[in-house]
Amino acid sequence: MSTTRGARQLTIKEVASHAGVSPMTVSRTLAGGRNVRPDLQERVMAAVRELGYYRNENARSLRPGQPSGLVGVAITNLANPYYGNFALGVEEVAAEHGRRILLGNTGEDDARERQLVSDFIGRQVDGLILVPTSGDAAHLRPERLGDVPLVLASRRVPGLDVDTVLLDDVGGSYRGTISLLDAGHTRIGFLGNRSSVFTGERRYRGYEQAMTERGVPIDPTIVARDQQDVEAASRAARAMLDREDAPTAIFSANNRNTIGALREIGRRIRDGLPGPRPAIVSFDDFELSELMPVPVTVIDHDARLLGREAAILLFSRLDDDSLDPAARTVELPVTVEHP
Amino acid sequence: MSTTRGARQLTIKEVASHAGVSPMTVSRTLAGGRNVRPDLQERVMAAVRELGYYRNENARSLRPGQPSGLVGVAITNLANPYYGNFALGVEEVAAEHGRRILLGNTGEDDARERQLVSDFIGRQVDGLILVPTSGDAAHLRPERLGDVPLVLASRRVPGLDVDTVLLDDVGGSYRGTISLLDAGHTRIGFLGNRSSVFTGERRYRGYEQAMTERGVPIDPTIVARDQQDVEAASRAARAMLDREDAPTAIFSANNRNTIGALREIGRRIRDGLPGPRPAIVSFDDFELSELMPVPVTVIDHDARLLGREAAILLFSRLDDDSLDPAARTVELPVTVEHP
DNA sequence: CTGTTAGCGCATTCAG
DNA sequence: CTGAATGCGCTAACAG
């Protein structure tokens, strides 16, 4: 019979008396059974099964030095498939290490990020993995975090020198832009995030490097760097393509801008509007890119791998005390895939 | 100075002595400050800030009756944007209720689901939200879960009568199929999950109802119900479209099958293969559906809302003891969007 | 190999 | 309004 709400959970004592042993024998058995007679272990396990006992992990981690087995993960936007994959990668590695993840969504909100980090620490997480919102670093300083290791993913925080996993944003953008230049394009538009966003800045830099290297001037009238969502990206693409001297190719620095640009291009084709049908290079993959009405080159990468690497960095710190305390950076490669 | 790993966390005692009060005054202040002199509260808060103290939530929830503030969430595949949105919906509502989520990915694996549920209970979660993998229900029975409320999402578990949030799978599939019949199609293929998958069964039923109602016989040679991924879906579509009597329209029961079918259709168009260019009805939305080379009708729904509703069901149980204990089902509407 | 004692951090209870 | 004592579930450390 199920009792009313708030019924006390079973404790190790109940199991002990049911099995006719002391609580310590139960504890030892559950901890692996070292130094416990096999027949007693049997009895304990039987009692555990019959009663449906679950060990209270919170009580367990109360004693000092005991890890909680929890990792706090804060990402900016779970609705973005990119971060879903990222979270999956983290979860997989955490599971392999017997850890569980506490997940929070910051929505690019600094205050929310601070709240989450505080709460995670209050819950005694063994470590933190964070896709930081660009803001400041005060709440992430070691003296605030105590001895809880932190790994940053996707972005850095200015003035914070900790383990970080990044993509090769600059290199990927450079190579993608070069591929357009190689194809003979010289009017290449840019769609991306504002420069205060870490990846926004890096991806623009790759574009800039390629253009400069080939001696092609950057025309600021076909550079739009302030679109966070599909709607804004569509509008920016529209403004560019409505110009007399519209670009013949567009470099899009992320998935949201790519989708927006393609929506606008599709609209122009359906409506029979004149003007170029620009080739696209897209940082971030998306499904069915091969079915698009204009050729789309994709700068592809693996968000799940990024998550896995972040978790690996974290657990290397947790499991190896003798590790060099210097911050490490892992920069994952990206691939340029032609249509 | 940061101390070595395993340094004891700050406790309420340190804060108390720093502020020159007793631990209880700190505790009361942190609990809202009822019955504490304002000036003492000031001193306590100052000490908390200076020392960077975080209350130990685990110790706090150790006392009986105290909620942990944690909700266990297990979903089948975080890499699927659908479940990313679902998780986001849950997280949002949980945050509104001051709760945090423990997230696990089951990968459609029964054993993993059982592990996750055990661990969640061991961590004293206040409730569980689960997208169940079809398997059996033994580990989800009330007697195993103690008094931890459970909400199922997207799917039911046979023989388990608990709060559940579903989509209107049958109705959506029915209306989608009807729209094809109304357009004059009579050879309508079906791509979907096997019938042991809850939604696979329901979505097929909607298709079947519409066909039967209109007196159009279902041809089993153009019904493929065993594709779990894009690759398999592509192959199934290919087999159908290679037939003499290929379908002129395809009902696809989920996103993975839709992408697979469209890949195959795109290939046939690029390669100039003969045969029909089938119209598609897709259960599940996807981006840029309007740019596809064949008309795509989308049966759209909101995964985030599904997550929100699941969380709302859960918190209504947690926050309202007088709630009718009978299991509730919420079935969310879907919309049929023509191209 | 097994049991007893003690204490982790906090908040409820009861005294002042 | 404040403080001291007590115990939540569990396990190291120490007996036996």
Q: What is the CATH number of the domain that holds A259?
A: 3.40.50.2300
For residue A7, pLDDT over 60 is answered with no
Residue A163: inside a domain: no
B115 touches strand C (CB under 7 A): no
Angle at B333 between CA B229 and CA B150, to 5 degrees: 75
Question: Which of B59, B70, B266 is closest, CB to CB, to A291?
Answer: B266
* DSSP-based helix, strand, coil % in chain B, nearest 5: 45, 15, 40
The pair of three-digit structure tokens given for residue B192, joined into one six-digit string:
């979907």
Residue A98 domain flag: no
Contact A203, A254 (CB under 8 A): yes
Q: Is B163 domain-assigned?
A: no
* Residues 54-73, chain A, touching B (beta carbon < 8 A): 54-59, 61-62, 64-65, 68, 70
User: How far, in Å, is the CA of B9 from the C1' of nucleotide C16?
Assistant: 32
Q: Which nucleotide is nearest to B8 (CA to C1')?
A: C8
User: B163: which strand partners?
Assistant: B151
State the nearest residue by CA to the C1' of D2: B25
CATH of the domain at B41: 1.10.260.40
Contact B65 A266 (CB under 8 A): no
Angstrom distance (rounded) from CA A226 to CA A5? 51
The span from the CA of A292 to the CA of B288, in Å, is 9
Q: At what angle do helices A23-30 and A38-51 cross, to 10 degrees?
A: 90
> Which residues contact residue B159 at a Cβ distance below 8 angstroms, ignoring those fewer than 6 apart?
B137
**Nearest residue to C12, CA vs C1'?**
B63
* pTM given for the model: 0.90
User: How high is the pLDDT of residue B328?
Assistant: 96
CB A293 within 8 A of CB B291: yes
Using one digit for the tens of pLDDT, what is the confidence trace for A85-144?
Answer: 999 999 999 999 999 999 999 998 999 999 999 999 999 999 999 999 877 888 898 888
What's the pLDDT at B208? 98
Which residue matches tokens 């398997």? B135
Secondary structure letter of residue B329 according to DSSP: E
- Which of left, alpha, beta for A240 (phi over 0: left; psi -120 to 50: alpha)? alpha
Domain boundary among A55, A82, A98: A55
Q: Which of A275, A297, A271 is nearest to A286 (CA)?
A: A297
Cβ of B64 less than 7 A from strand D: yes
Q: Which of A35, A55, A75 is the last residue of a domain?
A: A55
Q: Which residue is nearest to nucleotide C10 (CA to C1')?
A: B60
Does a structural domain hold residue B14?
Answer: yes
- Look at residues A9, A38, A55 and tell me which one is the last residue of a structural domain: A55
Q: Is residue A101 part of a domain?
A: no
Interchain pair A288, B292: CB under 8 A? yes
| B23 CB burial (10 A radius; 0-12, 13-18, 19+) | middle
What domain range is B10 assigned to? 1-55
Burial of B144 (0-12, 13-18, 19+ CB in 10 A): middle
Nearest C-alpha neighbor of A73 from the set A7, A3, A152: A152
b/e burial code for range A75-99 (CB count within 10 A of at least 16 → b): bbebbbbbbbbbbbbbbbbbbebeb
Asked whether A173 and A336 are in contact (CB, 8 A), the reply is no
Residue with more model confidence, B144 or A299: A299
User: For every one of its 339 residues, what pLDDT tens digit does chain B have, with 9 covering 90 and above?
Assistant: 233 334 557 899 999 999 999 999 999 999 888 888 888 899 999 999 988 899 999 999 988 778 999 999 999 989 888 899 999 999 999 999 999 999 999 998 999 999 999 999 999 999 999 999 877 888 898 888 888 999 999 999 998 999 999 999 999 999 999 999 999 999 999 999 988 889 999 999 999 999 999 999 999 999 999 998 899 999 999 999 999 999 999 999 998 899 999 999 999 999 999 888 999 999 999 889 999 999 999 999 999 999 999 999 999 999 887 888 899 999 999 999 998
Interface of B with A in 82-111 (CB under 8 A): 83-85, 87-88, 91-92, 95, 100-105
Residue B289 is assigned to a structural domain of this protein: yes
Residues B320-337: b if buried by 16+ CB within 10 A, e if exposed: eeeeeeeeeebeeebebe
Count of C-beta atoms within a 10 Å radius of residue A31: 12
Q: Is residue B144 part of a domain?
A: no
Residue A185 is predicted with a pLDDT of 97
What tokens were used for A282? 């897209």
Provide the number of structural domains found in chain A: 2
Q: Range with the lowest mean pLDDT among A80-84, A199-203, B165-169, B296-300? A: A80-84
Q: Do A287 and B286 touch (CB under 8 A)?
A: yes
Average pLDDT of the residues in A248-267: 95
Domain assignment present for residue A224? The answer is yes
Give the whole-angstrom CA distance, residue B143 versus residue A3.
10
Rounded, the Å distance between the CA of A16 and C1' of D10 is: 13
H-run or E-run covering A336:
strand A335-337
B-chain residues near A56 (CB < 8 A) = 62, 122, 124
